[in-house]
Chains A and B, each alone.
Chain A
């Protein structure tokens, strides 16, 4: 019994030592962020590769319009930022960072599409805490995670990876970064990828 108890305490300590929040949570969200703890870093297998055509999708956006990837073909480079879920750590501060990084996107003729598998009302309430976002936020809620699945970034529990795809004006994928879901990708890595676009 005691041995069982000790084993469990050791396990709990192990979990707690990795559970510590390695993220800087903004006071903007108060106590409304659900912390799922440390998750399996990557839990899906990519279905696309760099230098291959990016799969198209059409998704509802927060502004009420449907947005398709193909509408930017020949006009704009595109960054797709999949983040796992609304109201969770890391995701809640990734897009506000992009919100003050617009100059890097503009300089390289890039638009940003932020996608999660949450529904529109959830995305509305969550992104309202971030201030006014300059980029489109799309819902991959129904059919659940269909766009994410096409890229191979839908995890086994129904949320997406923390993944970035840079797609050029010809619709070809030029950069893929599937991050450890627990860690925010560094801005400079994305900026470097943007600066390589022609």
Chain B
């Protein structure tokens, strides 16, 4: 191979690498699969029960016992996430108080760049009942395209363990009923 072709080959490989790297920074959208996100099984027994994940170790989001999982990417340091916290508690309570939704919908939060101490402080400050997970090294945040916070994913979990993203949007949730309906329709769930 002459020097010119060698240089072009190197250039091509680098360009492919660059494109791949940038493709990975885009948040997954509706219809996509969620990147593999491994989270620790919570120590809190109520949270284990809520997620249907007894024991220890780690899990991936499609292992949660639910038909639809709502994931909030938040940060204790984000003013909009702070403002959104009471509203998310309302969403959680709305789901938990509805016998038709309760077993099908689960809600979790992942704190981008937040330590365990920081998410626990966030939980106490806003009296949050659903499970929150730290992502102190931004490893989850990098996998999902370094989104701004808050960011919401709605994920349909099928009976065979497969899954699909139904909702992928930045910014606060404006209308909870509309949001729940989008997820129900996307998952083709009729809970009536």
Contact = CB atoms under 8 A, between A and B. Distances in A.
A94 B77 contact: yes
A118 B142 CA distance: 31
Contacts of B117: 186-188, 191
A27 B149 contact: yes
Given A16-B21, A20-B25, A6 B79 contact: no
A129 B83 CA distance: 12
A130 interface: yes
11 contacts: A5-B11, A24-B77, A24-B114, A24-B138, A27-B78, A97-B118, A100-B122, A129-B79, A184-B113, A186-B115, A186-B118
Contacts of A16: 18, 21
B170 A27 contact: yes
Given A6-B10, A13-B14, A188 B115 contact: yes
Nearest to A21: B146
Contacts of A94: 77
Interface in A42-88: none
A24 B79 contact: no
B150 interface: yes
Which has the most chain B C-beta neighbours within 10 Å: A27, A94, A129?
Answer: A27
Interface of A: 2-3, 5-6, 9-10, 13, 16-17, 20-28, 93-94, 96-97, 99-101, 129-131, 184, 186-188, 191
A89 to B, nearest CB: 11
A105 to B, nearest CB: 13
Contacts of B15: 9
Contacts of A191: 117
A23 B11 contact: no
A95 to B, nearest CB: 8
Contact of B78 (A3, A26, A101): A26
Given A13-B14, A21-B146, A25-B149, A93 B77 contact: yes
Interface in B43-90: 73, 75-83
A13 B18 contact: yes
Given A28-B79, A100-B82, A187-B118, 15 more contacts: A6-B11, A20-B142, A21-B146, A24-B138, A26-B81, A27-B149, A27-B151, A97-B77, A100-B76, A100-B122, A100-B125, A130-B79, A131-B82, A186-B117, A186-B136
Contacts of B179: none
A96 B121 contact: no
